[in-house]
Amino acid sequence: MFINGNWVDAANGATFEITNPATGDVIGECPDGTAADAIRAIDAAHAAQPQWGATTAFSRADLLMEAWRLMGERAEPLAQLMTKEQGKPLKASRNEVAYGADFLRWFAEEARRITGQWLPSSRPDQRFLSVRTPVGVVAAITPWNYPMSMLTRKMGPALAAGCTLVLKPAEATPLCAKAIFECFHDAGIPDGVINLVTTANPEPIGDVFTSDPRVKKLTFTGSTAVGRVLAAKAGANLQRVSVELGGHAPFIVFPDADPEHAAKGATALKFLNSGQACISPNRIYVHRDHADVFIETIVARVANVKAGNGADDGIGVGPLVNEAAVAKVAAQVDDARANGADVPVGGHRLTEHGLDRGHFYAPTVVTGVTSAMTIYREETFGPVAPIILYDHVDEVIDLANDTNYGLAAYVYTRDLSTAIRAMEGLRFGIIGINDVNPTSAAAPFGGMNDSGLGREGGHEGIDEYLETKLAGIAL
């Protein structure tokens, strides 16, 4: 772990093993931290906060730029580590390293844009000055599916704003977190400003994060169920909270769209990271008039997606994170079959050619999906594309909105009016219009309803880590 500028063991000396999800091989071990270690880390962050908060925005920006440079310099070993620990194909890991580094550069620039303003008063002898100040110590909890970019998306704005930070990475991917912290350490981050607590049992760490009064903000990316628990606990102590949670994204192919082009886009997006992405399309709505062409195209493309160890050439889909994830995907597909769906490609666990050592499920297409099926209502988080046919354009937006989630949605159309009306009617925080990658460090990311609170990235991203302070000045 990294506490107060030093690499340290857990206070009790315990460790836990890290395995490669593609092979089951043990690839390392990490300290198995407890509540006591989380308190040590908060001690360090709290002690470092006054001095770090008082540094100039230009100094903080320079440090973030140096960390960005080091991530670029180390891009290939970082990507290799991510593939070994998380499982995604090496090409995807390389893309994530570049995406994660972008957050450091973006928020280095945003640090210099933190400004205040003079405000008018009704009194001639009074002036108001509004300024932005760091919220203080931040507790961050990050997921395993994007184990580097989800760190930098939180660390970048927190550090740019002048906050110190304690981070608990997912228990499945702590080595990726360690590698990112090494970049910051080598960039010259002052002692205590960033702290890393690894653990195989996250609940006690979360309890400390949400109960210690010195922690002024909690930021979490993960499941809606866990996010609700953490937000409730943090709310009891009036901590600021931002949570990026699950999704159940609709992918709407309007009648005027090119169904072949839309099917290619859906395939590229759905099987990214083996479907283990909160913005992955989970309900693909295709107009009945285009169903044959769309299904033929997506089935043919999915049949050619090669699953396997992400370190091997030509792999399009890597392993799922663990056995529980495989079981969940299999249960949803089996339930769909039992309720009348067809599975023209995939629909089974992969065990041949040594894949039985890992957690693999075949890239799958399910057709004839209805609202009676579990997959229609629940996030899959796996390599399964469920296709739902619709008949009337005026009903599809209501169908898409029929969920408690509200993170991402996708629209394929060649009509500008249709695109704008769909964007305005969909109750989701991110909408891709003929675009399967509507994300960027420069753009706000976040959802509505059960998909979370707050935004990461963009101009809004740094606001989550700043307080407004007002001075009333009598002349």
From residue 229, alpha-carbon distances to 30, 67, 137, 224, 440 in Å are 26, 33, 20, 9, 29
How many Cα atoms sit within 13 Å of 99 on the Cβ side? 20
Report the C-alpha gap between 325 and 378 in whole angstroms: 13
C-alpha 172/C-alpha 57 separation (Å) is: 34
The Cα–Cα gap between 473 and 127 comes to 5
Q: How far apart are CA 249 and CA 245, in angstroms?
A: 12
Residues 87 and 361 sit within 8 Å (Cβ to Cβ): no
Question: Which sign does the torsion angle of CA 7, 10, 13, 14 carry?
Answer: negative
Number of C-beta neighbours around residue 6 at 10 A: 12
Sign of CA dihedral 318, 31, 4, 35: positive
- How crowded is the C-beta side of 195, counted as CA atoms within 13 Å? 30
Count CB atoms within 10 A of the CB of residue 198.
Answer: 28
Provide the annotated active-site residues. Answer: 244, 278
Q: Which helix (H) or strand (E) holds 384?
A: strand 384-390
Rounded Cα distance, 280 and 276, in Å: 7
Q: In whole angstroms, give the CA distance from residue 417 to residue 405.
A: 25
Report the C-alpha gap between 444 and 452 in whole angstroms: 13
User: Are the C-beta atoms of residues 117 and 25 closer than 8 Å to each other?
Assistant: no
Q: Which of 327, 363, 370 is nearest to 345 (CA)?
A: 363
Residue 123 has which token pair?
């009194």
Tokens of 40: 């040590």
